[in-house]
């Protein structure tokens, strides 16, 4: 893209700051009208509570702000790419997003969005799309070469369900094809896809792996999100909570940049709240399994005794790991 086009992109920064979310809100409505099938791929809960539109608006703004040197965004783009990879986003879908994003800029901004501005944004979008497509291609290739791993969705049987507290259940997921599964770093998540009847759509969500790697199964621990006030009950967590042993769900292979390096010798400080302890459990278990037993401090808070999950497992972790200092508090 040329210097004039970069200046035009920079000139749109104030409008992105003030109306970026209106723009992305409009964009999603437009894209879903033309491509209703994509509603199966996007998190409709995040569409309703506004999180996804602000994630995209912030990403577009950050890109405009760094248009002279988009390379500084590579770390952030890698995080987005890992999530995209877990959702099986494909290169040809960038054209759909690009078409509706550029059309939305024209329709939302109106006459101020001149032909030159729209052209500059078209060049800028496809430049960003190409960076992400290349980055994601690498992630797909790297993932496909890991033993036991797979790209896209794979069917897993829920062989065991364990109630961990009044609102958290663990699901033990075994591959339906009986073949090997991929190792993961403690802290990583999987995307889960289930059919949500109230929407008549499939819906993906992410869940941290809540145990150390085990070659037989993955375990996730899901909190049932109850509705309150005008907030409806969570769709996927409630769908999962109504599942029985023997049912099948589709999952991605493990993904995510937030994880422990298995061979690091540094002391560990873990801080979690509520169901946010799931990646910590995986880290703590891995810590013991790998016989590292390094000094670990874990501070965890939850609302009250009824939602205090994994009590037995935590006391057994403490017995096995001398170096673990655990402090737990309740806020109600
Ligand atoms: C990397 C990662 C790891 C995670 N790990 C775990 C884990 O280990 N365990 C776990 O339980 N969760 C985990 N989560 C959260 C999980 O992915 C889901 O977000 C969670 O289960 C809620 O999904 P849901 O479909 O039940 O709720 P949704 O239906 O998506 O709703 C989410 C929230 O939005 C609110 N909402 C929906 N519609 C509206 C509306 N119209 N107006 C206002 N508010 C609305 C709902 O009330 C609810 O509070 C993780 C998330 C990520 C990103
Ligand atoms: C340059 C183009 C794109 C940008 C800047 C972008 C940006 C983002 C960002 C910032 C997130 C949130 C990441 C996170 O929560 O960690 C995200 C998630 C997501 N993206 Fe993209 N994305 C782009 C292209 C696409 C395309 C082409 C698709 C497929 C049609 C897509 C589908 C999704 C989905 C389904 C999610 C998860 C949404 C959710 O769970 O709420 N994205 N993207």
Specify the 3-state DSSP secondary structure of 171.
strand
Using the predicted structure, report yes or no on whether residue 34 has a pLDDT greater than 90. Answer: yes
How does strand 296-302 pair with strand 218-223?
A: unpaired
Taking 3-state DSSP, the helix, strand and coil percentages for the chain, each rounded to the nearest 5, stand at 50, 20, 30
Distance CA 263, CA 286 (A): 11
Least Cα distance to 195 among 85, 40, 39 occurs for 40
Pocket of ligand 1 (CB under 6 A): 43, 45, 48-49, 189, 205-208, 220-223, 225, 227, 231-232, 234-238, 275, 278
**55 CB near ligand 2 (under 6 Å):** yes
Long-range CB contacts for residues 240-247, cutoff 8 Å, separation at least 24: 240/169, 240/171, 240/192, 240/194, 241/169, 243/158, 243/161, 243/171, 243/194, 244/158, 244/161, 245/158, 245/159, 245/160, 245/161, 246/157, 246/158, 246/159, 247/157, 247/158
User: What residues contact residue 12 under an 8 Å CB cut-off, 6+ apart?
Assistant: 64, 117, 121
Separation in Å, CA 294 to CA 5, 173, 210, 215: 53, 30, 20, 24
The catalytic position among 63, 136, 172, 225 is: 136
Rounded to the nearest angstrom, the distance between the alpha carbon of 125 and the centre of ligand 1 is 29
Among 56-65, 113-122, 222-231, 320-329, which stretch is predicted with the lowest mean pLDDT? 320-329
Rounded to the nearest angstrom, the distance between the alpha carbon of 31 and the centre of ligand 2 is 13
The residue nearest atom 17 of ligand 2, judged by CA position, is 80
Residue 292: pLDDT band with limits 50, 70, 90: low
Q: Give the whole-number percent of the chain exceeding pLDDT 70.
A: 98
Distance CA 95, CA 62 (A): 20
Residue 325: pLDDT band with limits 50, 70, 90: confident
Q: Give me 121's structure tokens.
A: 């944004």
Q: What is the pLDDT of residues 221-274, one digit of tens each?
A: 999 999 988 889 999 999 999 999 999 999 999 999 999 887 777 888 999 999
Using the predicted structure, report yes or no on whether residue 50 has a pLDDT greater than 80. Answer: no
Atom of ligand 2 at shortest range from CA of 89: 29
Using the predicted structure, report yes or no on whether residue 53 has a pLDDT greater than 80. Answer: no
Atom of ligand 2 at shortest range from CA of 79: 16
Residues 25-36: what's their mean pLDDT? 95
Pocket test for ligand 1, best of 42, 48, 201, 276 (most atoms within 8 A of CB): 48
Rounded to the nearest angstrom, the distance between the alpha carbon of 80 and the centre of ligand 2 is 7
Q: What is the pLDDT of residues 295-312, one digit of tens each?
A: 889 999 988 887 787 888
The residue nearest atom 20 of ligand 2, judged by CA position, is 84
pLDDT for the residue 312: 84
User: What residues contact residue 145 under an 8 Å CB cut-off, 6+ apart?
Assistant: none
Rounded to the nearest angstrom, the distance between the alpha carbon of 66 and the centre of ligand 1 is 31
pLDDT for the residue 226: 94
Atom of ligand 2 at shortest range from CA of 38: 30
Rounded to the nearest angstrom, the distance between the alpha carbon of 201 and the centre of ligand 1 is 16
Residue 65 annotated to the active site: no
The catalytic position among 26, 28, 63, 94 is: 94
Q: Give the whole-number percent of the chain exceeding pLDDT 90.
A: 72
168 vs 293: which has the higher pLDDT: 168
pLDDT for the residue 309: 79
Strand partners, 173: 158, 218
Rounded to the nearest angstrom, the distance between the alpha carbon of 81 and the centre of ligand 2 is 8
The residue nearest atom 12 of ligand 2, judged by CA position, is 55
Residues 202-225: what's their mean pLDDT? 97
Q: What is the pLDDT of residues 109-122, one digit of tens each?
A: 899 899 999 999 99
pLDDT for the residue 318: 81
The residue nearest atom 6 of ligand 2, judged by CA position, is 56
Structural domains in the chain, CATH included, are 3-144 (1.10.490.10), 154-251 (2.40.30.10), 268-330 (3.40.50.80)
pLDDT for the residue 212: 93
**73 CB near ligand 2 (under 6 Å):** no
Task: Name the average pLDDT for the chain.
Answer: 92
Residue 215: pLDDT band with limits 50, 70, 90: very high
Ligand nearest to the CA of 210: 1
Residue 138 annotated to the active site: no
The maximal CA–CA distance of the chain, rounded, in angstroms, is 68
Distance CA 33, CA 12 (A): 26
pLDDT for the residue 132: 95
Q: Given the structure tokens 């723009």, which residue do they identify?
A: 23
pLDDT for the residue 291: 58
């Amino acid at each position: 893209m040329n210097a004039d086009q970069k200046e035009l992109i920079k000139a749109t920064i104030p409008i992105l700051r003030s109306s970026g979310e209106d723009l992305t809100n409009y964009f999603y409505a437009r894209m879903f009208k033309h491509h209703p099938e994509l509603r199966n791929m996007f998190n409709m809960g995040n569409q309703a509570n506004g999180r996804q539109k602000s994630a995209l608006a912030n990403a577009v703004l950050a890109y405009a702000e760094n248009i002279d040197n988009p390379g500084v965004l590579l770390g952030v783009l890698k995080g987005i790419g890992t999530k995209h990879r877990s959702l099986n986003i494909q290169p040809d879908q960038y054209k759909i997003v690009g078409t509706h994003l550029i059309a939305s800029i024209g329709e939302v901004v109106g006459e101020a969005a001149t032909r030159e501005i729209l052209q500059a944004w078209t060049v800028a979008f496809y430049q960003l799309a190409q960076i992400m497509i290349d980055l994601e291609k690498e992630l797909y290739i790297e993932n496909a070469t890991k033993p036991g791993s797979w790209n896209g969705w794979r069917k897993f049987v829920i062989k065991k369900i364990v109630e961990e507290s009044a609102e958290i259940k663990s699901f033990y997921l075994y591959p339906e094809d009986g073949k090997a599964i991929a190792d993961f770093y403690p802290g990583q998540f999987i995307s889960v896809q289930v059919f949500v009847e109230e929407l008549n759509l499939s819906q993906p969500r992410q869940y941290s792996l809540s145990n150390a790697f085990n070659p037989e199964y993955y375990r996730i621990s899901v909190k049932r999100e109850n509705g309150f006030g005008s907030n409806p009950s969570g769709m996927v967590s409630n769908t999962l909570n109504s599942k029985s042993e023997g049912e099948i769900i589709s999952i991605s292979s493990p993904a995510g940049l937030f994880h422990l390096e298995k061979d690091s010798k540094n002391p560990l400080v873990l801080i979690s709240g509520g169901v946010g302890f799931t990646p910590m459990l995986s880290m703590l278990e891995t810590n013991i399994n790998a016989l590292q037993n390094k000094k670990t401090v874990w501070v965890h808070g939850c609302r009250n005794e009824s939602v205090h999950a994994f009590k037995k497992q935590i006391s057994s972790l403490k017995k096995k790991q001398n170096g673990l200092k655990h402090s737990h508090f309740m806020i109600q």
